[in-house]
Amino acid sequence: MNFHWTFNETTDEQLKKFCIELEYQLRRKITRFLMDRVEKECQGDFSCFHFEVDMVAKRIALSPKTPSRFRQLIEADFETEINHNCC
């Protein structure tokens, strides 16, 4: 599972600490989400999943780097269950 972060031009130490904590929370939540939906298809390996975390827009999205067969399986639920409660 990979995260790509987008920030505005200024990031300080407090924001970096917040993002570390946020990533920890997101990893737990997204892992559970993926286990419930695609664990069999992935055989428990979620390393092909990529996420874009935009701290300016305060949203998280599935990255185009995630294989399309998996994106199609989880896109709708991801938007409501993960992105809706993000950042």
Q: How far is CA 64 from the centre of its chain?
A: 12
Q: How far is CA 31 from the centre of its chain?
A: 9
Count of alpha carbons within 13 angstroms of residue 28, beta-carbon side: 5
CA atoms of 51 and 79, how far apart (whole Å): 12
Q: pLDDT (tens digit, 9 = 90+) per residue, 13-72?
A: 898 899 999 999 999 999 999 999 999 999 999 999 999 999 999 999 999 999 999 999
Is residue 87 scored above 80 in pLDDT?
no
Domain chopping of the chain, boundaries: 2-85
Q: What are phi and psi of 64, to 5 degrees?
A: -60, -15
CB 7, CB 55: distance < 8 Å: yes
